[in-house]
Amino acid sequence: MRLILLGAPGAGKGTVAELLIEKYGIVQLSTGDMLRSAVKAGTPLGAEAQGYMNRGELVPDSVIMGLMEQRLQSPDCESGFILDGFPRTIPQAEALKAMLSRLGLSIDGIINLEVPRGVILRRLTSRRTCSNPDCQAIYNIYTKPSKKEGVCDKCGSATIQRDDETEEAIGKRLKTYEEKTAPLIDYYRSEKTYASLPALDGREVYENIVAFLERR
């Protein structure tokens, strides 16, 4: 099973992907996670990406395509994968199409998660992350607060707002999404494998995605 998950930042792609990887025994390929690992590991690629990420801008397509080309050929991708946060621009979608055809692979489902902007803003600004790089536990001030405000339950370090989750960076990320990523909906809309589904509830949208894939 090979899937593409589309949706604004904070639409819940990561949560839905977790359920789908378990169901289909496939891997989640999140370019955001790959970039954050590169930043944490202090690699040259991480150093190049960090500034863009902190400003809520997209990392250049050439960097992303290099990352993905390597990753798609790893042995753990053979049983299938979910692309989460990629492609993010029309040129990335075109490069992906060429790459998949070179590798002889096809996509079984392209799913767009629909979530109202107000919900997205509230979700993203309410997230807190443990500042200890070895812990990085995630909290939400409304739905999953730490026992003591501002302190991580697991390791006792301070919980903080990620640099790209401040109000300013989130505004920028949503603007970038509207300009660069939302056009992918029109790009993919006519594909038989495309579906756009309301995604307020992670479990419900997961069930609708499975139903769509099994109908096909």
Nearer to ligand AMP, 32 or 151 (CB): 32
What are φ and ψ of residue 60, in 5° steps? -55, 145
Contacts to ligand AMP by CB under 6 A? 9, 31-32, 35, 52-53, 56-59, 64, 85-86, 88, 92, 164, 173
Catalytic residue IDs: 13, 88, 127, 162, 173
With CA atoms as reference, report the closest residue to 113 among 2, 27, 23, 4.
4
Is 45 in contact with 67 (CB distance < 8 Å)? yes
Nearer to ligand AMP, 57 or 153 (CB): 57
Edge-to-edge strands, sheet with 127-130: 138-140, 127-130, 159-160
Nearer to ligand AMP, 9 or 12 (CB): 9
Is 31 in contact with 13 (CB distance < 8 Å)? no
- Least distance from ligand AMP to the Cβ atom of residue 75, Å: 23
Nearer to ligand AMP, 59 or 209 (CB): 59
User: How far is the first Cα of the chain from the last one, in angstroms, to the nearest whole number?
Assistant: 12
- Least distance from ligand AMP to the Cβ atom of residue 215, Å: 28
Cis ω for the linkage preceding 87 (within 30 of 0): yes
Rounding to the nearest 10 degrees, give the CA dihedral for residues 210, 122, 179, 9: -40
- Least distance from ligand AMP to the Cβ atom of residue 63, Å: 8
DSSP code of 144?
B
With CA atoms as reference, report the closest residue to 133 among 13, 16, 46, 48.
46
- Least distance from ligand AMP to the Cβ atom of residue 206, Å: 19
